[in-house]
Amino acid sequence: MFINALTAFNMIIMKKGVSSTFTYVIAFIVAVVVLSASIISIMQFHSLSAPTNTTQTTGSGPSKVTLPVIASNKTVQITLVALSSASTFNINGTSFGQMVIYIPAGYSIEVTFINQESLQHNLVLVMNDTPTPNAADLASDGKLLMFVGTSSSAYTIQGLSSGQSATEVYGPLQVGTYWLACGISGHAESGMWVDLVVSNNVTTPYVVG
């Protein structure tokens, strides 16, 4: 493109007898214009032929919800439900420790458990010494601290029937990891537990999951 334009221009100059200085000035201007047009064309080509960059967004992670606290006695209020709309061994629609509750050290917990399912269920607070429930009896996995909807003598066989609820309070809790799990034989092993983390680094209680 540049060579053809410059050749044509030189032929015009030669015919008209224009001075050589003027000729070089005009030739330089023509060269700049042609070169600029060529660069723009190349850039447009690469812009059109290059693959389009796309950003994929993923769904947000588990939600973080602040839990209510009775400030006068530092008691965290927790409501857990065995939902009829989820899997048989669920707590608030989660299973296998997907829900994690974070509590400041030295606080107590008030746990209300509601059973919507046809099977009986209960909740047991366990200071666990295994990562996950791996025995039919929770007592094999740690120290049992509190029983909701059952008793220390019947937790493996007895719980709340469908539509029933129960509330218990325990604390203050020391730093460590715990479970709130169904104590009926095999239910925790099948996924019916949530993790409870008590830490000096937590100032406001919350739940994730």
Least confident of 44-48, 50-54, 194-198: 50-54
Q: What is the DSSP letter of 121?
A: B
Instruction: Say if residue 26 is in the same domain as residue 84.
Output: no
Instruction: Say if residue 45 is in the same domain as residue 144.
Output: no
Residue range 147-171, pLDDT digits in tens: 999 999 999 999 999 999 999 999 9
Q: Percentage of the chain surpassing pLDDT 70? A: 70
Asked if residue 12 is part of any domain, the answer here is yes
pTM over 0.85: no
At residue 29, the pLDDT reads 60
The residue with greater pLDDT, 99 or 41, is: 99
End-to-end CA distance of the chain: 66
pLDDT over 80 (residue 60): no
Instruction: Say if residue 128 is in the same domain as residue 79.
Output: yes
Instruction: Say if residue 25 is in the same domain as residue 71.
Output: no
At residue 63, the pLDDT reads 82
CB 168 within 8 A of CB 148: yes
At residue 199, the pLDDT reads 98
Asked if residue 57 is part of any domain, the answer here is no
- Per-residue confidence at 3, pLDDT binned at 50, 70, 90? very low
Instruction: Say if residue 104 is in the same domain as residue 142.
Output: yes
Tell which residue, 78, 183, 89, has the closest CA to residue 128: 183
Instruction: Say if residue 114 is in the same domain as residue 190.
Output: yes
- According to DSSP, the β-strands at 206-208 and 64-66 are antiparallel
Q: Which residue type, as a one-letter code, is found at position 48?
A: L
Instruction: Say if residue 116 is in the same domain as residue 155.
Output: yes
Torsion of CA 100, 104, 106, 110, to 10 degrees: -50
Domain enclosing residue 21, as ranges: 2-49
Asked if residue 90 is part of any domain, the answer here is yes
Q: Which residue type, as a one-letter code, is found at position 176?
A: G
Backbone angles phi, psi at 82, to 5 degrees: -85, 100
pLDDT over 70 (residue 17): no
What total number of domains does the chain contain? 2
Instruction: Say if residue 125 is in the same domain as residue 23.
Output: no
Instruction: Say if residue 203 is in the same domain as residue 142.
Output: yes
Angle between helices 2-16 and 20-49 (to 10 degrees): 160
d(CA 199, CA 84): 32
pLDDT over 60 (residue 27): no
